[in-house]
Structure 1
Amino acid sequence: MKEDFLHHIWLNKRFDFSNLKTSDNQILQIVDFGRYLQMAGPDIFNAQLIIDNQKWAGNVEIHVKSSDWYLHNHENDTNYDNVILHVVWEHDAEVYRKDNSEIPVLELKNYVAKSELDKYNALTTSKSWIFCENDIATIDDLTFINWKERLFFERLERKAIPIQELLKETSNDWEFVLFVMLAKNFGLNVNGISFFEMAKSIPSNVLKKEVFDVENLEALFFGRANLLEEEKQDNYYKNLQIRWSFLKQKYELKNHYITPIQFFKLRPDNFPTIRLAQLAQLYHLNHSLFSKIVNAKSLIELYDIFKNATSIYWKTHYNFDKQSSSKPKNLSSAFIDLLIINTIIPIKFLYANENGKDSTEELLELISQIKPERNTIIDKFEVFKIKSKSAFDSQALLQLKNEYCNHKKCLHCNIGLALLKN
């Protein structure tokens, strides 16, 4: 038995409350079940009860056992002085207020049908992957769609946290924060931290001044990423070294530790050299990138912004000193989709919120046009007949698995609650 099941029973009135009695045999009537605010203090606020013809208004605390009151040290917490009813599964100890008056107890196990327990045990019995895997496909479309919307925006709020932190650090420099977050996602999982550190170490004013020369931008990015430290015969490499030396002196850039850049096990198109060159070209071609992104209302507009390649040198190179067959290194549609999902949409979401605007419909329309991500979690949901038609679905399912299923929060999940109510 877990406390969250008792919360579910109380809040959803899943017990026979027509003939209730307290543990000391007083008649109990519930006028108002109260509100579950999930704040410090009692579980349920502002409930109204009648106990032996005496009306009470106050808070309700819920525990598996009465003795949990003392286990949680509530007797020493003034937040619990206004508790008018102790709801428990098993009554094993009397509980008193500070004035030594006894708190009435409702022992729920006497009023909950066996069928409720059976459904709860069936839901919370370990399966091969998630608890509801045998039944999740039976959830009606309306319940699932509404829950996925909630999950999608929960995930957006989580992604917005590091953006908010950066905004505080940079005095709300949205343009620079966009640059840092884009750089991180250009680095993908392997070099994301390195690219983030590289971008963050470049002063905002330096970036703005150097966007007009793509080779200066490359020198700045490669130099800050410690990729210009070796001796090579490549003339382009030497040119970037000279530019980097000049920029360091011009802007008085001090040495800054960056997590080492990795090439190991990366496909050539994902080499950090190519990604940094693409990032440089993106900023060279879009001097006011933030305003363009904020004002873009459609997926096509965003694709047009990011459909850039690299400077000429990188058409025949994946790395310095090693020439390859000529190939334009454009950002792929799949890569642009990742940038939109992980950087652009969170930025647009937070910017709208900060300016008091509702971006719900715009962002839902945008994410619904993007193809779903492919990974082990999304593939596993498909095994249980939950398919992702767009990135809206895949983002919601990632939030569901990582924040609910993995933490066994079935009774905080609308799917789990729907299964219990069926």
Structure 2
Amino acid sequence: MRNHLPQAPQGTQLAEGIHADEFTGADVPDVLSETFGYKLKRKLLGPPLVNEQMSEQRLSKPLALGVLSSDGISSAAYGTEEMLIELVPIVGVAAFTLILPVTLVILAGVALVVLSYREVVSVYTRAGGSYVVARENFGPRVAQVAAVALLIDYTVTVAVQVAAGSAAIVSAFPQLANTPVIGPYILIVISVIAVAIMCYGNLRGIREAGRAFALPTYLFSVSVGLTIIIGLIREVTVGLPHVTVQAGAYQLGHSTAGLFSFAMIYMLARSFANGGSSLTGIEAVSNAVSALRPPEGRNARQILVTQGSIVAFLIGGISWLSHVTHAIPYEAGYPTVLAQEANTVFGSSAHFMYFVVQAATALILFTGGNTSFSGFPFLASFVAGDSFLPRWLTKRGHRLALSNGIIVLTVVSLILLVA
């Protein structure tokens, strides 16, 4: 005799993409057997979710700030250093004075980007960000340019951030390079493991990913913010010494060209372009507005302002400490400008905080790549919904995450890293 199961509400999505409106109670077979692959999926990712639980998977503002802002906030770790790399070899010590006006221009750019995207998320509360704005105001051809640029940016961001985080770990523990067999490939091994962890965390669902990846954002913001505040207090009270320059640092230039000569303007423009890396990632919020809890538009605006304020404070503070301590970049990439500033601020009697700052920096460089795992699938899904990408990018997976987009991003970024 056939067992009759209670009918699910019409339109409810069941496991493996089955919809309740496809069956009546009389049509449901006695036993819905689970394949080995499905059992493995349940074991790895947890029990499946249905569409009615989508609201439970939306990100709250604290979680959204952590998971969507890690890329933008992590850029502050190397923004000042990138500017100094261009300034120091040409103008020498004057670089530590010029760094301040260049930083002010960068901060103006941060403010402009934040204010612009506040208007975007006020009107466009769905996924897509710049793609939606371009499509509705300039047509589909311009929109494709925006979409391609953002999708490539997300992919490269994963590779760059993870590679930087891997290099930071090996720099702190150089003995890893002597590990048998994998020693010569240790950077690739660490990078692949990091990307795999990001992929797994996001496949489990956006709420779980937010919990896992929000901590480094807050740890980095608090630890570097504390470094800046203590550094400012010490500068006002007892003063901060200059850092000790060791072998391997960029050589100080001695340019005598006028400030408004062509060569000097070109150098300042290149310094600004290098520092512009600090603006990356701010747009991620606008591309994942639909992942926020309602009211999405208001929450997105508040997150953008909070993120922009944190980024501006960190960039400004790191540049000021560099101006005071004369922290200089090294050709090998380490010790970093931020590491030198932390060592100078906390001194030998408080090296615990120095290691906290270093650990937080390495963590956020890894998790900064996770912003792409939030933005890329949503943007790809939106573009696919307009039939410019395969439709399977619009489907949600076992845990209601946009699994196909996550897997595509994982594969392409791993190819970039390995190649």
TM (norm. structure 2) is: 0.24
Compare the two structures and name the one with the higher strand fraction. Answer: 1
> Which protein has greater RCO, CA pairs closer than 8 Å, 6+ apart?
2
Pick the structure with greater CA Rg.
Answer: 1
